[in-house]
Amino acid sequence: MTRSLRRLECNGMIVRRVLPTSPVGVEYSLAPLGASLRDPFGRLYDWTVTNADEIRADQLAYDQRVQS
């Protein structure tokens, strides 16, 4: 998880803030660039939910063909 968070921070998707607590805490939030992905990812999520049954049926059919 640390690697993923660092990559997202490096790419400008999130902002890390170190909290002055004991022990030291860290808080992450979306950077403006990361926030700009909300709409496209939301549409992708909606498409996935709408097509989930068909996707699963295709996966099962593929698995059956490959195992034969």
The pLDDT tens digits for 11-63 are 999 999 999 999 999 999 999 999 999 999 999 999 999 999 999 999 999 99
Residues 45 and 66 in one domain: yes
Cα–Cα distance, 40 to 16 (Å, whole number): 23
Q: For residues 60 and 66, what is the distance between their CA atoms, to the nearest angstrom?
A: 10
Residues 29 and 42 in one domain: no
Based on the fold, state whether residues 41 and 30 are members of the same structural domain: no
Are 42 and 66 in the same domain?
Answer: yes
- Is the pLDDT at 68 greater than 90? The verdict is no
The reply to whether 2 and 16 lie within a common domain is: yes
The token duo for 52 is: 């989930």
